[in-house]
Amino acid sequence: MKLFICVLVLACFAAFVSSTCPTLYKTRSYGNTRFFLNAASNGVCGGQYSNNLRCRYVLVNSTENRRGGSVNLNLRNFQTESCCDYLTINYTSTSYRSSGYRLRGYQSNNLRYTLNTAPRSEVSIYLYTDRSVTRRAFFLTGSA
């Protein structure tokens, strides 16, 4: 009986911490980087994002951003649990100040951001979710 309970507890713990981050797809052509992220846990359009996510994505790294420039982001169907799940966008602006956005709750069907970045800086996105409520997955697309 003790062995069964131990196995059951370990299985539950593994299920609790096993959320994997959705894949960020990047392509590069003619000096431009394009990216796409479907936040659905199963990769299916219209699915929900997972619980217990601690994801960091580097959309544009310092070698891709040698001269600075602009990064265009589009978020579609963005809706998270307003208290506890959020998406953070961090970058260094052309004035060399840390800048960013923290998005949570229902924002809009289509959000557009243009980030004017400093040379040799990164654009990073953090996706954080707790362990309770999930919402419909959002899509992030963009180019640099």
CA distance 24 to 141: 10
pLDDT, tens only, 59-115: 888 777 788 888 999 988 888 888 888 989 999 888 888 899 998 887 777 889 999
CA distance 93 to 91: 6
Alpha helices in the chain (DSSP H): 2-17
Is the CA virtual torsion 86, 87, 93, 96 positive or negative?
A: positive
Choose the CATH number for 24-143 among 3.40.30.10, 2.60.40.10, 2.60.120.290, 1.10.10.10.
Answer: 2.60.120.290
The pTM of the full predicted model, rounded to 2 decimals, is 0.75
Is the CA virtual torsion 105, 107, 109, 113 positive or negative?
A: negative
3-class SS at 69?
strand
